[in-house]
Amino acid sequence: MAQAATVEPETGFQPTGDELLVIEDVKKHFPITRGIIFQKEIASVKAVDGVSFSIKPGETLGIVGESGCGKSTLARCIIRLLDATAGKIWFEGRDITKLSRANMRPVRREMTMIFQDPYASLNPRKRVGFIIAEPLEIHRLGTEKEVKTRVQELLEVVGLNPEHYNRFPHEFSGGQRQRIGVARALAVNPKLIVCDEPVSALDVSVQAQILNLLKDLQDDFGLTYVFIAHDLNVVRHISDRIMVMYLGKVAEVANRNQLYGQPKHPYTGALLSAVPIADPELGRARQAIVLEGDVPSPVNPPSGCNFHPRCPRFHEGHCDVEDPPLYPFGDGHVAACHYPLESWPMTADEMRQMSPSPTGPNNGT
Amino acid sequence: MALLEVKDLRTYFHTDDGVVKAVDGVEFSVEKGKTLGIVGESGSGKSVTNLTIMGLNPRRNTVTSGQALWKGQDLLTMKPAQLRDIRGSEISMIFQDPMTSLNPVHTIGKQLVEAILIHRDVSKRVARARALDLLKAVGIPRAETRIDDYPHQFSGGMRQRVMIAMALINDPDLLIADEPTTALDVTTQAQILSLMKRLQDDFGSAIIMVTHDLGVIAEIADDVVVMYAAEIVEHADVYDLFNRPQHPYTWGLMGSLPRLDADVERLTQIPGQPPSMLRPPSGCRFHPRCPYVMEICKTKNPELLPTQRDPGHLQACHLDEDTKDREAAKLKATMAEAT
């Protein structure tokens, strides 16, 4: 852990050396080019713009944010499906940011991914047995017979019938396909699984099955999850710690009870109050912070704090000038806001004081 | 008299594999200025119900029976020309996907004006002014310039606002919204839902809100219909439904929902998958997934009947009422305890 000890990310944590994964100031910018032969870079989409966090073995870190906030890009950078533009990624104390393909291969056994769309992430022409066995064959784990036994064992672990070894993906329903995706991610006995919106394409009753399965597997195999979702209810249910992202940056990181109990960033507050509550009495009684406008374009993010054009606590001359660092609130709770929320839920009076800025929202198109 | 009264609605699709009973004996009514929520999982028939009412199913290989009385007139037997007059003016619809339900090669202004000119005898200038008013009403910033933009120049939430403007442009008496917020982020969803509530207050339209999200139902509906496998399994006032749900499927739906305001270690899951409507299960269609299944459930499909306590609360389940009240109370208690 020699390298990791030198890291001092801005998130307020000090690496203690037992983190499974440390991400330091990772950026991913996609260039926008013009010209056919001589391509000139005219701008870039700052999909991820300086994100740092760490995760301990056996922990689940939830990442939430609206579409376009860079959470999926971040996931792809973590397991190096995309190469980060800047920043460092440490896995088990080893810098994997610049590893070659060949050197990366053994690391890939330790970290796998479950994708969002169970319809698009399985090859329709391959049998389920082959799909799950493929990672085992790539890493040359066992003879043909051992692989087959392992695949059938995996099918059973995720709650599918081992007899269905020879079926094609189209013969399964959405929930069952997602189970196949889970089995494939588990095949090589990884330490870390990055789940990119694993339940958002599923019906609620089936979603509960997959969430319970992921929790059981974590207990049985000591897995570590990075769990990405836009559904705050789902993230709360499964995560130990949660990171809220906005426009490629970290808005707030806190453990589950702090984040849902005392959010500090106004964006977190707005997200929480926007979630419909499945109880007509509670839901209709509460005050909601309704955000105006849309998420601005990551090509030209707003100056200063990137949330300031939509923020109900906007202070002119401060928020639009100075980019807030992550202020600590104790116990690893950090939030990037100059004027954090003092109480939660907010009273009607506080809500009224927070009138939106007269300049109006920036509705980027 | 109810604005819309649906009686014993059945829609069967004849396919190469057999007959798919997509809607099988659905009954409900919608009152003026009220919101009816229809909740169910994919394939439960909630969208087909509305497409049938609007006469938008493909005519080939589709058999429809029953009645959908719109102000006393049956929409299902109406002549196409007459139905076209009602559709888009008296009843209008918002679809789930704002990305694909606008025409990409015309400006939104042109599409809005077209919707007016089809139903009203006004000049183009009047129509355009009306279109502009509506765009402002649904909260599109800089509407004067944006009216000449194409759909791809709008974000998802803004496009859904344009769809709502188009649906409201002829002051409909009934607005059918089919999963209007499913494709959107929570913050945008909150904007659209509060917009719909406000517009309902201003324009007094009735709304049929189709969704799979019990949270959205709890926020916006007055009356709720729960559908499972092409049938209604429960129909109640929204407060009643959440306080005293009477059907095991509704309990399953509520228990399987991870909640922001509650800490539950393990979600109750409904085992298995929704059935194929080519070969629906015998008896009660929920029986293969029901934890309370009895012998009678396997052979006899329960009728949708009022509960003894409340004639307005309809449910289709063979369980006795005491057991149901006990289970509903238990569910409510676990929710309250976790909160």
Task: Give pLDDT tens digits for B112-134.
Answer: 999 999 999 999 999 999 999 98
Residue of B108, B187, B242, B250 to mutate for A, most A C-beta atoms under 10 A: B187
Where is A245: in which H helix or E strand?
strand A241-246
The answer to whether A324 touches A305, Cβ cutoff 8 Å, is yes
DSSP class of residue A322 equals S
> Cβ contact (<8 Å) for A208 and B258?
yes
For chain A, what percent of residues have pLDDT higher than 70? 90
> Cβ contact (<8 Å) for A365 and B154?
yes
Shortest distance between the Cα of B85 and any Cα of chain A, in A, equals 35
Residue A154 tokens, joined: 């995996």
Among A114, A132, A117, residue whose Cα is nearest residue A202: A117
Shortest distance between the Cα of B202 and any Cα of chain A, in A, equals 19
Please compute the mean of the pLDDT values over residues A291-317 and round it to a whole number.
Answer: 85
Other C-beta atoms closer than 10 Å to the C-beta of B322 total 8
CA distance B259 to B252: 14
Its pTM stands at 0.84
Among B213, B206, B99, residue whose Cα is nearest residue B163: B99
CA distance B274 to B270: 10
Interchain contact A138–B (C-beta under 8 A): no
DSSP class of residue A220 equals H
Question: Does the pLDDT value for residue A68 go beyond 90?
Answer: no
Question: Does the pLDDT value for residue A358 go beyond 60?
Answer: no
The CATH number given to B4-225 is 3.40.50.300
Rounded CA Rg of chain B? 21
CA distance A178 to A201: 9
Parts of chain B with a pLDDT under 50: none
Say which range, A4-13, A270-279, A335-344, B239-248, has the weakest mean pLDDT.
A4-13
Reported as a single tens digit per residue, the pLDDT across A215-240 is: 999 999 999 999 998 888 889 999 99
Question: How far from B154 is each of A61, A190, B149, CA to CA, in Å?
Answer: 33, 42, 8
The answer to whether B227 touches B26, Cβ cutoff 8 Å, is yes
Q: Which residues pair with A244 in a beta bridge?
A: A64, A252
Reported as a single tens digit per residue, the pLDDT across A234-272 is: 899 999 999 999 999 999 999 999 999 899 999 999 898
- Would you state the pLDDT for residue B7? 95
Question: Does the pLDDT value for residue A13 go beyond 80?
Answer: no
CA distance B27 to B8: 5
- CB burial of A51-81 (b: ≥16 within 10 Å; e: otherwise) equals bbbbbeeebbbbbbbbebbbbbbbbbbbbbe
pLDDT band of residue A175 (cuts 50, 70, 90) is confident
Q: How many CA atoms, within 13 angstroms, populate the side-chain half-sphere of residue B272?
A: 13
CA distance A157 to A145: 18
Question: How far from B182 is each of A200, B52, B158, CA to CA, in Å?
Answer: 11, 21, 14
A308 CB contacts (<8 Å, ≥6 apart)? Answer: A302, A314, A319, A320
Q: Alpha helix (H) ranges present in B69-185?
A: 80-86, 108-119, 124-137, 143-146, 156-168
Shortest distance between the Cα of A232 and any Cα of chain B, in A, equals 7
* DSSP symbols for B255-303: HT---TT---SS-----S-PPPSSSPPSSSTTGGG-TT--HHHHH-PPP
CA distance A208 to B268: 7
Interface size A-B, in CB pairs within 8 Å, comes to 142
Domains of chain A: 2-99+226-353 (3.40.50.300)
* DSSP symbols for B150-177: -GGGS-HHHHHHHHHHHHHTT--SEEEE
Residue A356 tokens, joined: 């939106």
- Would you state the pLDDT for residue A265? 93
What is the rounded end-to-end Cα distance, in angstroms, of chain A? 45
Task: Give the distance, in angstroms, between the CA of residue B126 and the centroid of all CA atoms in the same chain.
Answer: 33
Question: In terms of DSSP bridges, do strands B4-15 and A249-255 run parallel, antiparallel, or are they unpaired?
Answer: unpaired
Question: How far from A75 is each of A187, A194, A210, A242, A336, CA to CA, in Å?
Answer: 20, 7, 20, 14, 21
pLDDT band of residue A354 (cuts 50, 70, 90) is low
Task: Give the distance, in angstroms, between the CA of residue B315 and the centroid of all CA atoms in the same chain.
Answer: 18
Residue window 145-174, chain A: list those with CB within 8 Å of chain B: 173
> Cβ contact (<8 Å) for A212 and B186?
no
DSSP class of residue A68 equals T
- Would you state the pLDDT for residue A348? 59
Residue of B46, B146, B194, B267 to mutate for A, most A C-beta atoms under 10 A: B267
Among A121, A22, A28, A11, residue whose Cα is nearest residue A73: A28
Residue of A200, A204, A237 to mutate for B, most B C-beta atoms under 10 A: A204
> Cβ contact (<8 Å) for A205 and B252?
yes
- Would you state the pLDDT for residue B255? 85
A19 CB contacts (<8 Å, ≥6 apart)? Answer: A4, A54, A55, A56, A90
Residue B103 tokens, joined: 């025409």
Task: Give the distance, in angstroms, between the CA of residue A173 and the centroid of all CA atoms in the same chain.
Answer: 25
**B68 φ, ψ to 5°?**
-130, 95
Shortest distance between the Cα of A279 and any Cα of chain B, in A, equals 6
CA distance A253 to A243: 4
The answer to whether B75 touches B5, Cβ cutoff 8 Å, is no
Question: Chain B residues with CB inside 8 Å of A67's CB?
Answer: 156, 185
Chain B residue with CA closest to A207: the answer is B256
Interchain contact A208–B (C-beta under 8 A): yes
- Would you state the pLDDT for residue B315? 94
For chain A, what percent of residues have pLDDT higher than 90? 50
Question: Chain B residues with CB inside 8 Å of A233's CB?
Answer: 215, 257-260
Interchain contact A211–B (C-beta under 8 A): yes
Question: Does the pLDDT value for residue A3 go beyond 60?
Answer: no
The three-class DSSP label of residue B61 is: coil
Give the residue extent of every domain in chain B.
4-225, 244-338
The residue written with tokens 């928020």 in the block is: A319
Where is B25: in which H helix or E strand?
strand B18-30
CB-closest option in A203, A230, A233 to B185: A230
> Cβ contact (<8 Å) for A290 and B213?
no
Question: Chain B residues with CB inside 8 Å of A359's CB?
Answer: none
Shortest distance between the Cα of B220 and any Cα of chain A, in A, equals 8
Question: Chain B residues with CB inside 8 Å of A197's CB?
Answer: none
Chain B residue with CA closest to A363: the answer is B141
